[in-house]
Amino acid sequence: MELDEWEAFRACAIEELREKQRRLQDDYGIGGFARWWFDQETASLQFFDREGCLRLDTSFNDIGSYSPLSHTWKWAWCNDSVLPAMRQAAGPLRELCAVTVLAAFHREDPFEVDEGEDWELAASAVQHLGALGCYRTPPSAEASASILAFMAAAPIALP
């Protein structure tokens, strides 16, 4: 892939992610939940309302993590804090290196990214995985933001 082809691919992936995120918000209320929780062992990402009731249960693939403090990205497939099964599920993202001109898709060490480049990497990953969209967990002083690709979603019926 030449540089101009990469730019077109990137722009398409970003626009596609915007549309997918809008659909997730419209269809499932992503962005409006009071609390979230995820479990690497079950690959389950759950969202709860203000009363603590589960409203959305999704399956996910871990894409990577972004540290706003150091402005660095680390792929899930090489992150020791990600369980082995989740790292294996993220392995296909390495294929993006063969498709694009960017070595960033096969770097095992954290690497610096500019503001917004984390979403560009996430958009490329979501497109490559055929995911429904993604969720960026809020970062804390101790932890980076995890970027999780929605693979399936199941809304929970109101009682």
CB contact set of 55 (below 8 Å; sequence gap of 6+):
29, 33, 47, 48, 49, 155, 156
Domain tally, the chain: 1
Residue pair 55/48 in contact (Cβ under 8 Å)? The answer is yes
Q: Which of the four pLDDT bands, split at 50, 70 and 90, describes residue 54?
A: very high
Strands (E) in 16-53, as ranges, are 35-39, 44-48
pLDDT in tens, 82-119: 999 999 999 999 888 888 878 888 899 999 998 789 99
Q: Which of the four pLDDT bands, split at 50, 70 and 90, describes residue 1?
A: low
Distance CA 63, CA 57 (A): 18
Domain with 141 in it: 3-155
